[in-house]
């Protein structure tokens, strides 16, 4: 019997484009794929990346502080908040428009500006490795280190870039509000860019110079929502082992045990497919009956129907 599902969908960067005009165009395609699932009766919760967008905002804010000595540098956590709002704005409108084209006149779509708590003692803070922002000369990098306390690293001969920590998410601060909205059958966009990274200091939530992986944040969200399925949409239709080699093999499914074996073999690239597979494994193994899917944006509906994608299960 066909079962409608509560699904958390993690959108990859290809769903949003790299510039404002690209994003406005890209979200129309993204909305069609999401509305295919909504039209099937599934309850959809959306998480998105923000790589190009938060970099653009960070660069713009840094340029402003260089031009005006009275403008303090904008913390990365604030840049993430800005990116959540403006990506959410475009996604909300695209979803609303697409749903109305399909005859859904009540289209309650909402973006929740979401804070995600990380542990200030997470070892990732001792080894910042996630590059953000534009390339700099050695002189500019030294100035950024002194003026703003940035950690700068040379990037493969192309110049210097700021690097920040990528700690694991431990709590979604607005989880109760998200639960209420989803339970009331609203279409919720949340945890954008992995969430605004914060640490708890007494009763105060303090922004952290960090980037949370959106796939790990999506996994935590899916578990807290008691979702049936986590779908991670990326630029490939299926997960492959021996990727790019003569014996390359595309996978229709993996058990968590099989996926762990591939991870141990180093089959998946860090910062690319590895966190997606790890998040999928975490969710699929968290409760009986849960599964995860990694596939292409345009193939989300086919993936749920078992026609394509890589399914991860116990």
Tell me the H-state helices in the chain.
20-39, 51-67, 76-101, 138-148, 175-183, 214-224, 256-264, 273-284, 300-304
CB environment 154-169: b (16+ within 10 A), e (fewer): eeeeeebbbbbbbbeb
Instruction: Name residues whose C-beta falls within 8 Å of residue 221's C-beta, 6 or more positions apart in sequence.
Output: 8, 45, 47, 172, 175, 178, 190, 191, 227
CB 290 within 8 A of CB 229: yes
Whether 276 is catalytic:
yes
Whether 287 is catalytic:
no
Whether 223 is catalytic:
no
Which is the catalytic residue, given 5, 28, 32, 130? 130
Which is the catalytic residue, given 13, 51, 159, 207? 13
Which is the catalytic residue, given 5, 14, 32, 59? 14
Round to the nearest angstrom and report the end-to-end CA distance of the chain: 21
Which is the catalytic residue, given 214, 238, 299, 311? 214
Whether 3 is catalytic:
no
Whether 214 is catalytic:
yes
- For residues 188 and 145, what is the distance between their CA atoms, to the nearest angstrom? 38
CB 283 within 8 A of CB 290: yes
Sign of the C-alpha dihedral computed for residues 232, 234, 236 and 237 taken in this order: positive
Which is the catalytic residue, given 12, 55, 195, 276? 276
Q: Which residues are catalytic?
A: 13-14, 130, 214, 276
């Amino acid at each position: 019997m066909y079962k409608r599902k509560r699904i958390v969908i993690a959108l990859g960067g290809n769903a949003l484009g790299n510039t404002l005009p690209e994003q406005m165009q890209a979200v129309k395609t993204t909305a069609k794929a999401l509305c295919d699932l909504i039209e099937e009766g599934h309850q959809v919760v959306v998480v998105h990346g923000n790589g190009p967008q938060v970099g653009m905002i960070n660069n713009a804010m840094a340029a402003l502080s260089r031009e005006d000595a009275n403008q303090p540098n904008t913390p990365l956590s604030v840049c993430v908040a800005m990116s959540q709002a403006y990506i959410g704005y475009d996604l909300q409108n695209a979803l609303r428009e697409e749903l109305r084209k399909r005859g859904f006149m009540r289209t309650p779509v909402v973006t929740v500006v979401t804070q995600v708590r990380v542990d200030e003692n997470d070892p990732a803070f001792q080894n910042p490795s996630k590059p953000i922002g534009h390339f700099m000369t050695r002189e500019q990098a030294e100035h950024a280190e002194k003026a703003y306390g940035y950690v700068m690293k040379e990037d493969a001969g192309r110049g210097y870039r700021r690097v920040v920590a990528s700690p694991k998410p431990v709590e979604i601060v607005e989880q109760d509000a998200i639960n209420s909205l989803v339970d009331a059958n609203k279409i919720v966009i949340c945890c954008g860019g992995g969430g605004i990274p914060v640490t708890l200091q007494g009763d105060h939530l303090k922004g952290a110079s960090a980037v949370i992986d959106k796939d790990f944040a999506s996994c935590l969200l899916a578990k807290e929502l008691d979702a049936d399925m986590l779908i991670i949409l990326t630029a490939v239709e299926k997960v492959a082992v021996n990727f790019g080699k003569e014996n390359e093999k595309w996978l229709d499914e993996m058990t968590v045990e099989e996926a762990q074996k591939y991870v141990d073999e180093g089959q998946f690239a860090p910062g690319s497919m590895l966190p997606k597979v790890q998040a999928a494994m975490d969710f699929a193994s968290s409760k009986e009956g849960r599964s995860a899917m990694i596939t292409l944006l345009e193939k989300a509906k086919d993936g749920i129907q078992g026609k394509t994608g890589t399914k991860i299960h116990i």
